[in-house]
């Protein structure tokens, strides 16, 4: 009997794209079974399992229903990854505690000032902030309108009572799970929200906000330009010592001329493994430099 030649991917022990798709389907099916008692649709695991590999269209629809059914909060709490290998999905589990504290602090800061419209950018920290706003603000306290290009925020807020959710147009960018391009820019240019929430991959001592992908800065710049009162920059502590490639804007520049009335609030939190570390000390030096920009820049710590 002739020896079978193993595919290159099998020799290396690495998963193929097909393997990831199969894993994703099975994880989603397990997830659906876990929530079956809470769903109006009573579908047994065996019923879904029978669909795998036999009716791709139906399987795809079921999986999409599951993704819609489960919010990001559920994914965080149970530590479930849906088989995705994108930058957004792999970062969902990182520094969850710090991101939750940042989100709760944002809710606390928004509560006394009723914001009728808020813009939310992409990123896992912003998505967690959206989840915390939904959990910690009452219907009357929540913004009446949310404009976002983040499908992570959409997944969290799609069923929230009392909030009109507007998703921008644009081209879908898989790694950040968000919409980019001219249509996204135009959507934000028409928004004119009182507040906006932006995440950053890195923030340096020159007050520069940086992101990971070249499609992001144009959209984020427009979101910030269209904000009328307050910009919230949300970032865990290690972002202040991180480096990244694509600059969005310098905070010092954002405050000039047409943004003269804008207030910048930076909300941060440290994860437990950074306490009293060299990284924490260097990050605090960067934060001190940001505080020296002027009285329109505030740094708020989301303490435990």
The 10s digit of each residue's pLDDT in 141-190 is 999 999 999 999 998 898 788 899 999 999 998 888 899 999 999 999 99
The encoded tokens of residue 267 equal: 């909300």
Single out the residue of 73, 81, 77 nearest to residue 30, CA to CA.
Answer: 81
Write down the domain spans for the chain.
Answer: 15-70, 96-301
Instruction: Name the residue with higher pLDDT: 21 or 164.
Output: 164
The encoded tokens of residue 80 equal: 């479930």
Cα(210)–Cα(245) distance, rounded to whole angstroms?
7
Helix (H, G, I), strand (E, B) or coil at 195: strand
Cα(265)–Cα(228) distance, rounded to whole angstroms?
14
CB-CB neighbours of 128 under 10 Å: 29
Ramachandran assignment for 231, one of left (phi > 0), alpha (psi -120 to 50 degrees), beta (any other): beta
Name the band, by pLDDT with cuts 50, 70 and 90, for residue 260: low
Q: Does the structure show a pLDDT above 90 at 103?
A: yes
Q: What is the pLDDT of residue 202?
A: 94
Calculate what percentage of the chain has a pLDDT beyond 90.
48
Domain 96-301: give its CATH architecture: 3-Layer(aba) Sandwich (3.40)
Instruction: Name the residue with higher pLDDT: 25 or 190.
Output: 190
Average pLDDT estimate for 44-57: 45
Q: Which residues neighbour 138 within 8 Å (Cβ) at sequence distance 6 or greater?
A: none
Q: Which residues neighbour 236 within 8 Å (Cβ) at sequence distance 6 or greater?
A: 95, 98, 99, 102, 125, 268, 269, 270, 271
Out of 20-24, 91-95, 259-263, least confident range: 20-24
Q: Is the pTM of this model over 0.75?
A: no
Q: What is the pLDDT of residue 273?
A: 63
Name the band, by pLDDT with cuts 50, 70 and 90, for residue 90: low
Instruction: Name the residue with higher pLDDT: 186 or 35.
Output: 186
Name the band, by pLDDT with cuts 50, 70 and 90, for residue 86: low
30-44, 47-61, 258-272 — most confident range:
258-272
Q: Does the structure show a pLDDT above 50 at 230?
A: yes
Q: Where are the beta strands (DSSP E) in the chain?
A: 117-120, 145-148, 164-167, 171-173, 178-180, 195-199, 202-203, 208-211, 230-236, 246-250, 263-269, 297-301
Q: What is the pLDDT of residue 275?
A: 66
Instruction: Name the residue with higher pLDDT: 154 or 62.
Output: 154
Q: Is 136 exposed, middle or buried (0-12, 13-18, 19+ CB in 10 A)?
A: middle
The encoded tokens of residue 215 equal: 């499609």
């Amino acid at each position: 009997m002739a020896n079978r030649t193993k595919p290159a991917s099998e020799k290396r022990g690495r998963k193929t794209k097909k393997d990831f798709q199969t894993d994703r389907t099975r994880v989603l099916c397990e997830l659906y079974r876990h929530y079956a008692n809470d769903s109006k649709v009573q579908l047994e695991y065996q019923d879904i399992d029978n669909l795998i590999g036999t009716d791709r269209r139906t399987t795809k629809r079921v999986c999409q229903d599951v993704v819609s059914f489960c919010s990001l909060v559920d994914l965080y709490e149970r530590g479930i990854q849906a088989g995705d290998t994108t930058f957004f999905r792999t970062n969902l589990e990182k520094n969850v505690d710090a991101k939750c504290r940042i989100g709760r602090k944002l809710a606390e800061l928004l509560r006394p000032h009723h914001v009728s419209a808020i813009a939310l950018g992409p990123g896992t920290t912003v998505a967690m902030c959206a989840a915390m706003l939904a959990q910690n603000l009452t219907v009357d306290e929540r913004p009446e309108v949310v404009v976002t290009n983040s499908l992570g925020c959409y997944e969290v807020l799609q069923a929230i009572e009392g909030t009109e959710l507007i998703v921008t147009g644009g081209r879908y960018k898989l790694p950040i799970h968000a919409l980019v391009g001219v249509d996204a820019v135009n959507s934000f240019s028409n928004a004119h929200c009182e507040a906006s929430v932006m995440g950053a991959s890195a923030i340096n001592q020159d007050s520069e906000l940086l992101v990971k992908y070249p499609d992001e800065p144009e959209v984020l710049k427009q979101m910030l330009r269209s904000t009328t009162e307050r910009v919230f920059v949300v970032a865990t502590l290690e972002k202040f010592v991180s480096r990244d490639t694509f600059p969005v804007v310098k905070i010092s520049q954002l405050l000039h001329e047409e943004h003269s009335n804008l207030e910048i609030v930076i909300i941060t939190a440290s994860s437990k493994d950074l306490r009293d570390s060299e990284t924490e000390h260097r990050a605090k030096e960067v934060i001190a430099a940001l505080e020296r920009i002027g009285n329109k820049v505030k740094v708020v710590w989301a303490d435990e």
